[in-house]
A and B are shown apart, each in its own frame.
Chain A
Amino acid sequence: MKATIARILKYCRAYWGYLILTVLCTFIGISLSLIVPVMIGKAVDYAVGANQVDFAGLGKIALLLGSMILVSSLFQFLESLFINKLAFGTVKDLRSELTEKLEEMPVSYIDGNARGDMMARVISDIEIVSDGLLQGFAQLFTGIVTILGTLIFMLTINVKITVIVVLMTPLSLLAAAKITALSHNAFQRQSKLRGDIGGFTEELVGSQKLVKAFAYEERAEKRFSVMNQELAEAGLKATFFSSLSNPTTRFVNGLIYAAVGTVGALGAIGALPWVGTMTVGSLASFLAFSNQYTKPFNEISGVVAELQNAVSCAQRVFEVLDTPSEPDDSQCEVMHSCQGELECKDVSFSYLPEKPLIQHFSMKAQPGQKIAIVGPTGCGKSTIINLLLRFYEIQDGEILIDGRSTRTFTRDSLRNQFGMVLQETWIFTGTVAENIGYGKPGASREEIMQAAKAAHAHGFIKRLPNGYDTVISDISGLSQGQKQLLCIARIMLTNPPMLILDEATSSIDLRTEHRIQRAFETLMQGKTSFVIAHRLSTIQNANLILVMRDGNIIEQGSHDELIQKDGFYADLYQSQFAG
């Protein structure tokens, strides 16, 4: 916990000026505001009774008081401004660093972590760090200044009554701690149940059609009802326990108030000689101080809980920041272009060491050749992409491009040699032109339109409300096929020497499918291409067919060779026309 806090403070360092200013302003603002009750007490002392009011003294005090109030509010205002700068600046830096990390992390890390979890770290965890830690610190600091300040002021008025107040403090702390502990558990249970019920509704209301189709309504309502009941009870407990804190601390404060009142008043009439003398005014300000003194204790227990929460969120953020990035390769050579000759030499790879996948795989593709990858669903075709583009590193053997190991080049320049169109299209929120021009920053509109025309996407783009300037996103109204055409246009624009293509299977209407097919053919001319193939025409024309099953490449060869071999491929091929 300490290490995490220290690390967060390191992020604040860029704003140390604001930090110092915040501390300074809090100190001035709070101390002045603490003197206010003293002054009020003094003022009351000047108005003893009829014809006994010292207007000169009262006027002086009023003026002084007024100016102190003005200065104090000014500094309180400045404090808020500075803490804002400090907090929001720190959060911006932290979030920027985290998103930057996102672009440097190995793909395996992203694959291995749930998307929702990563999102939570970037968005809500950092928000909690901002709210909890920085504003928590501010509150903590205000609280400490208040406690120390009121103590000093109380001591200047009356040492002995102050001792009484201090002795009664643990009562307040104890009450607050007890309540926090009680409500903490209840709150945890409540948020868990709320998460459960949220997940349940999200899942079932999200698939309402299925629920109806299977007549599952009653059972769903039963399950819902049980969770709902539990949530209500847990929520009732949590809210009740947490709402105890206000009245209870008010009560404890009331006790302290009464004690101070009794002792002070008795002191004022001289009934308690050990108390010393006390005026009515000083009693008034003492009462005001004792009230202010107890308040922060109440808040601090809340702050501690918030701090703990913030620290655990910060830890989650740092965890990501601490994962090793892809190794630095800036010393490697930059590949500017290539012929497109690709060779795998005795390549072995597995995601998990205990589960060997690709073993001693070798193949060679001449420039311009077409390699088809076939196999049943889920056979691990994406592994090929991962290895060729070095999203994952092979464990043994070598992948050579134009006879040179891909390891000798920078990853970025290697990846630039490949164009990739997958069935899981990637469209980001932006205009059509931005999406097409993604791989070639600064491409002219003319170039983008040429690429779109070559990809047979120009027609439908023209019909969009704002043509090339229509803002689209992954969830916008484009069909799967249209999205794929845009991704093809993206590659048309960059025109890399090697391709990885994923042929359309279904869920695409006929005309679009034709267009995609024609676009692929245009794209593949003269390029080394790896095609995840679903159609026979592609497979039969391929120079080499890689047959995959369960993540492994089990057969390779030309169509005729593989049919003759009468292995898995032959089986697969024959079954296509079986009724």
Chain B
Amino acid sequence: MQKLLKFLKPYQLELIIAPIFKLLEAIFELFVPVIMAKIIDNGIANQDANYIFRMCGLIVIMGICGLCFALTCQYFAARCAFRYGADLRKALYEHMNQLSETEIDKFGTSTLINRITNDVTASQSGVNMFVRLATRAPFLIIGAIVMVLTIDAELALIFLMIAPIVGFLLYFVMHRTIPLYAKNQKKLDIIARHTGENLDGIRVIRAFSRQKQEVQKFQDECADLERSMIAVGKISAVLNPLTFMIMNLGIVAVLWFGGMHVDTGRLSQGDLMAFTNYMTQILLAMVVLANLIVILTKAQASSLRVAEILETPSSMQNGTELPEVPDSGEILSFRDVSFSYAGAGDKALEHISFTLQKGQTLGIIGGTGSGKSTLAGLISRSYDATEGEICIFGKNIKNYQLKALHRKIGTVPQKAVLFTGTVRENLQFADEHISDADMWQAVEIAQADFVNTLQYGLDTHLVQGGRNLSGGQKQRLTIARALAGKPDVLILDDSMSALDYATDARLRNALHTQCDGMTKIIISQRATSLMTADWILVLDDGICVGQGTHESLMQTCDIYQEIYHSQMQSGGKKS
């Protein structure tokens, strides 16, 4: 929690006000039994109706004040917590945007999402609870102890004996149940996973008519969950009755020994009653305190997870220059570039060199894991080369401001990801000012003319990242998205895999004829998609095993020939 303290700094005022008011409320609450005792001892004993009225009036006034104090405290506590949470969430999100791919890969996106949603919320409610309860419960306990001590120190010993027992009980139950609850959650996760797998594999399951076995498996899982839920239930079922028992047996002891003290005149009848009231109050406050400790432990763990991200610096050095694209000549060059992923032993790319002129098309071909996407990542500076130099637009890639560089490069990822929103919003992803005309042109080049047939055209809403589109449609839209930004360099990372040959060919043709100033880098597994490229790199296991034009590679590169022939087979003869 300490690491996030600076996020609480703007809310110092709230942090002071809220506990003070809570304290005031608690003080008032503490006095109610005293006043009631006075009513009994003075009012009833002296038959003083006036006194009774006054004192009860006092209780009401104290109640009103208590209410106001409580509300003030709750308001400031909530304000402090929620603004703290908002600041933290914002800072975290902005920090995530600063992180480079290396760090994002290290954490994994699901971790990042979890931290920005659940962990921040847990930390926030920790602050809220802490501000609201951290003063009240301990104060009530200490105050009540002081009160009972002043009433009758000897009798208070009974409480001092009971309190550790209750404390231990609370600790024991929580200590035992918390890991068990986590285990139950895991069992529920298993059922969730199984359900998901069944929904995905419904056709396969039915094709093998394995429904009965699946049902059996579900039933076993449900029964298993039930058993362990009942097991935890047994432990936590002890808590309330046992606390009730200890507390009330304590009161019985107080009554008995208190009775002795009343007999000797050390204690009045009213005091005895007040004493029993305080007992109840203390024990209730202990239960609150125990819950508070659980919440704070959770919040602490969450806060640490949030702090871990905030403390991770970006390993990517931002440059200062703005890229200027030359009108002609060399656009991109790799000079003896090698790369290995952080923590990985083997190099993902070794000694890659090539140059590319403006408007040319570079093809990269190779099997899975040969380093094609890694190479693309180096061009968009998702990663920095470990050795060698990459020059783009005439200067070392590290000289440029990252965002400015990214605006010049259009990327189409392997996985066709679209965002929730309209088609228009997706096409304007690179720049919100892209005109309709530019969007339609991009759509046309990307062979995504189906947009015309959508009910609302560009304003059609894409459900859940385009679930209402087919794989091929999504892919074509991601291509259109990259084109709409009119990039100087376009990277297509195996992003035509869901297109049939005819569409693939039309797309390449359109890119060739309509985007002649654009330098294109096409990664593919299909030799046909790359045949017409100006330069082709053949990658195998991170090594460039051949480069040149299609014709020259057909002469010189065995692997390229193998790929080509396996894909053409008999059909090739006809071409």
Does residue A460 face the partner (Cβ distance < 8 Å to B)? no
A84-B230, A418-B207, A510-B367 known; A73 and B63 CB under 8 Å? no
A53-B263, A416-B208 known; A215 and B407 CB under 8 Å? yes
Partner of B83, one of A197, A203, A232: A232
Residue contact A254 to B188, C-beta cutoff 8 Å: no
Residue contact A269 to B49, C-beta cutoff 8 Å: yes
Residue contact B430 to A215, C-beta cutoff 8 Å: yes
Complex formed: what's the CA distance from A265 to B47 in Å?
9
Complex formed: what's the CA distance from A114 to B463 in Å?
11
Does residue B196 face the partner (Cβ distance < 8 Å to A)? yes
Closest 8 CB pairs of A and B: A536-B571, A50-B265, A509-B367, A377-B472, A80-B237, A247-B70, A378-B470, A412-B209
For this complex, 13 residue pairs linking A to B, each with C-beta atoms less than 8 Å apart, are: A51-B263, A52-B262, A58-B256, A66-B252, A103-B211, A114-B467, A119-B195, A202-B113, A206-B113, A235-B78, A235-B124, A258-B59, A438-B210
Residue contact A205 to B49, C-beta cutoff 8 Å: no
Instruction: Chain B residues near A508: list those with CB within 8 A.
Output: 368, 525
CB distance from A571 to the nearest CB of B (A): 7
Q: Which one of A49, A65, A576 has the highest number of Cβ atoms from chain B below 10 Å of its Cβ?
A: A576
CB distance from A217 to the nearest CB of B (A): 4
Residue contact B569 to A535, C-beta cutoff 8 Å: yes
Does residue A385 face the partner (Cβ distance < 8 Å to B)? yes
- 7 new A-B pairs (CB below 8 Å) besides A115-B199, A201-B117, A377-B472? A84-B229, A88-B230, A96-B215, A110-B199, A110-B202, A206-B109, A271-B47
A572-B500, A579-B508 known; A221 and B94 CB under 8 Å? yes
Residue contact A254 to B60, C-beta cutoff 8 Å: yes
Does residue B325 face the partner (Cβ distance < 8 Å to A)? no
Complex formed: what's the CA distance from A114 to B464 in Å?
10
Residue contact B97 to A217, C-beta cutoff 8 Å: yes
Residue of B nearest to A429 (CB): B193
Partner of A123, one of B101, B191, B494: B191
Complex formed: what's the CA distance from A233 to B82 in Å?
8
Residue contact A69 to B245, C-beta cutoff 8 Å: yes
Residue contact A537 to B570, C-beta cutoff 8 Å: yes
Instruction: Chain B residues near A571: list those with CB within 8 A.
Output: 502
Does residue B283 face the partner (Cβ distance < 8 Å to A)? no
Does residue A276 face the partner (Cβ distance < 8 Å to B)? no
* Total CB contacts across the A-B interface at under 8 A: 462
Residue contact A69 to B252, C-beta cutoff 8 Å: yes
Residue contact A207 to B419, C-beta cutoff 8 Å: yes
Complex formed: what's the CA distance from A119 to B124 in Å?
29
A426-B200, A439-B208 known; A62 and B252 CB under 8 Å? yes
Main secondary structure on A side of the interface with B: helix
A224-B93, A389-B206 known; A509 and B369 CB under 8 Å? yes
A236-B79, A376-B503, A416-B208 known; A214 and B430 CB under 8 Å? yes
Instruction: Chain B residues near A66: list those with CB within 8 A.
Output: 249, 252
Complex formed: what's the CA distance from A506 to B527 in Å?
11
Within 8 A of B (CB), among A100-114: 100, 102-104, 107, 110, 114
Scan B324-355; emit 1 where CB is below 8 A from any A CB, else 0. 00000000000000000000000000000000
Does residue A323 face the partner (Cβ distance < 8 Å to B)? no
Residue of B nearest to A103 (CB): B211
Q: Which one of B194, B260, B269, B380 has the highest number of Cβ atoms from chain A below 10 Å of its Cβ?
A: B269
Instruction: Chain A residues near B526: list those with CB within 8 A.
Output: 506
CB distance from A498 to the nearest CB of B (A): 11
Within 8 A of B (CB), among A191-223: 194, 197-199, 201-221
Complex formed: what's the CA distance from A353 to B482 in Å?
38
Does residue A367 face the partner (Cβ distance < 8 Å to B)? no
Residue contact B56 to A198, C-beta cutoff 8 Å: no
Does residue B374 face the partner (Cβ distance < 8 Å to A)? no
Scan B211-227; emit 1 where CB is below 8 A from any A CB, else 0. 11111001100110110
**Stretch of B148-156, B163-171, B409-417, B437-445 at the chain-chain interface:** B409-417
Residue contact A104 to B211, C-beta cutoff 8 Å: yes
Complex formed: what's the CA distance from A422 to B208 in Å?
14
Does residue A474 face the partner (Cβ distance < 8 Å to B)? yes
